[in-house]
Amino acid sequence: MWSLSNIATSIDQWLNETFNPTLALIIEMLIAGVAVIGLFAMLGLILVIMERKVSAWIQIRLGPNRVGPKGMFQSLADTLKLLVKEGMTPGGADKLLFNVAPFVAMIVAMLLMAPIAFAKDFQLWDLNIGVLYITAVSSISVISILMAGWASNNKYSLLGAMRSGAQIVSYELSAGLAILAIVVLTGSLRISDIINAQADGWWIFKGHIPAIISFIIFIIAVTAETNRAPFDMAEAESELTAGFHTEYSGMKFALFFLAEYVNVFIVCAIGATLFLGGWMPFHIGNWEAFNHVMDYIPSSIWFFGKTFFLIFLIMWFRWTFPRLRIDQLLNLEWKYLLPISMFNLLLVTVIAILGWHF
């Protein structure tokens, strides 16, 4: 049967037959890098047009409808425009940091691609501390924002970057505690173990109400971590013009923009892996026929379907809820999300120890 892992295995075999193992490994690494960059480019194009269409339909508008069928090539035209624009560096800026910052944002996003399982047996790096790696590396993204804000030599940028720092440091806690609930239930930090533990049912169904609560907290916290509305303090058009990327133009701005959307994809992929079973098909108890039909759908379709469902959920939030003020934002984290998620983690631990989950 057709699957991504079969393609990967046959490429691996052919390379090892044709070249010596070292060269084959180098070529495989190059292929993986190009594939990740290609995925980024595709995600940028798809998510931008998706966001614009979703926002338009939610606001009773039509959205882009001129370029291509139903306006589907609009993001391609936007990318072309950004490519031919001049990349300005302001006079008083710290030139090195200013130019490096967008690439740091992209590199963090690329590093986070490593432990994600896109399909059955299709994963770049199945390390034994996958979840810890994800939470650790995703906090580096705040450095790129701080670099951009500091190096721009602009008050708006600096304020936006500082807000982003406060926000990410706060929300990392409840995101981590929500992830920890699933780690407690599984008993492993390895991504493939977490997915295999959900073969007979996803954690959101198996873990009773505590799993649902931690799922909601996870979604709220990652929305804040990716600096998206209703938590877009770092950008905040109305008060900070554009926050940390005020001074950026052309392709450097596009890289920040792309990194934001790729981060949305990554956090949704992690959410899908932890709570919705990653590439695991939807199975119901002992309905053999139903389970067989579900197994017939390729695992990559399951993974991308779940991820895009979560992305749609986050877009739905963005275009429904009003923005929070910075003090309300920190109140929400420290007075509500953190105590609730700590209490919730206690409940999950009790459930896991007593084996009450299905």
Partner 1 sequence: MFLKQYIKDVWGAMKSLATGMKRTGYYFTHHKEIITEQYPDNRDTLVLPERFKGEVVMIHDENNEHACTGCTACELACPNATIKIITKFDVDAETGKKKKAIDTFVYHLELCTMCNLCVEACPTGAIKMAQTFEHSVFDRSKLTKTLNQPGSKIREGVE
Q: Report the candidate in 106, 103, 218, 242 with the shortest Cα–Cα distance to residue 164.
A: 242
213 vs 11, 15, 254, CA distance in Å? 43, 47, 35
**Per CB under 8 A, which of residues 28..57 are in contact with partner 1?**
54, 57
Interaction of residue 58 with partner 1, rule CB under 8 A = yes
Q: Taking CB under 8 A as the rule, which mask of x and - marks residues 289-318 in contact with partner 1?
A: ---------------------------xx-
Name the one range near partner 1 by CB under 8 A: 12-20, 21-29, 60-68, 87-95. 60-68
Looking at beta carbons only, is 131 or 181 nearer to partner 1?
Answer: 181
Using CB under 8 A as the criterion, what x/- string covers residues 109-148 for binding partner 1?
----------------------------------------
Q: Which residue lies nearer to partner 1 by CB, 54 or 124?
A: 54
* Residue 358 touching partner 1 (CB under 8 A): no
340 touches partner 1 by CB under 8 A: yes
- Only one residue has tokens 């059955």, namely 120
Q: How far is the CB of 340 from partner 1 (least distance, A)?
A: 7
Residue from 23, 29, 62, 284 touching partner 1 (CB under 8 A): that is 62
Long-range contacts of 5-12 (CB under 8 A, 24+ apart): 5/119, 5/120, 5/121, 5/122, 8/122
Residue whose CB is less far from partner 1, 54 or 127: 54
Which residue's structure tokens are 């979560």? 310
CA 9 to CA 342: how far, in whole Å? 43
CB of 182 to partner 1, least distance (A): 21
Tokens describing residue 128: 């034994």
Nearest CB to partner 1, comparing residues 228 and 245: 228
Which runs of consecutive H residues, i.e. helices, occur in the chain?
4-18, 21-58, 74-83, 95-113, 130-138, 141-151, 155-186, 191-196, 203-206, 208-225, 237-240, 250-275, 288-296, 299-320, 326-331, 338-354
- Which residues contact partner 1 (rule: CB under 8 A)? 54, 57-62, 65, 316-317, 319-321, 336, 340
